[in-house]
Amino acid sequence: MTFYTYMMRNHSGQDTPAGDLADDMKWDKENFPRNGVGKFDGWHSLIRRYLEREGACYDCLRVFEECWRDYELTERRRLKMKCEVGA
């Protein structure tokens, strides 16, 4: 899944810092960069630069870093399991 989808499924609508980020992403869904499924390299930097250009505060960037780490771990596990099942 994309980082955008991950955030919508796991954080949107929650009264948490990650929920705030997800809701901001949803509000700007037309412009928010969306990586391809299983595409991590370069996308972290692209999304971070986008957030910085949009004026994201330090706390928002910190939450993004936490969420990206969780997203990447979750996706890598999911993709690995998918490959093992298909093998």
pLDDT in tens, 2-26: 999 999 999 999 999 999 999 999 9
| DSSP string across 1-65 | --HHHHHHHHTTT-SSHHHHHHHHHHHTTTTS--PPTT--TTHHHHHHHHHHHTT--HHHHHHHH
The pLDDT of residue 86:
64
Q: What is the CATH number of the domain that holds 50?
A: 1.10.150
Residue 72 has pLDDT above 60, yes or no: yes
The pLDDT of residue 81:
81
The pLDDT of residue 1:
86
Range of the domain at 76: 3-86
Residue 38 has pLDDT above 80, yes or no: no
Instruction: Quote the number of domains for the chain.
Output: 1
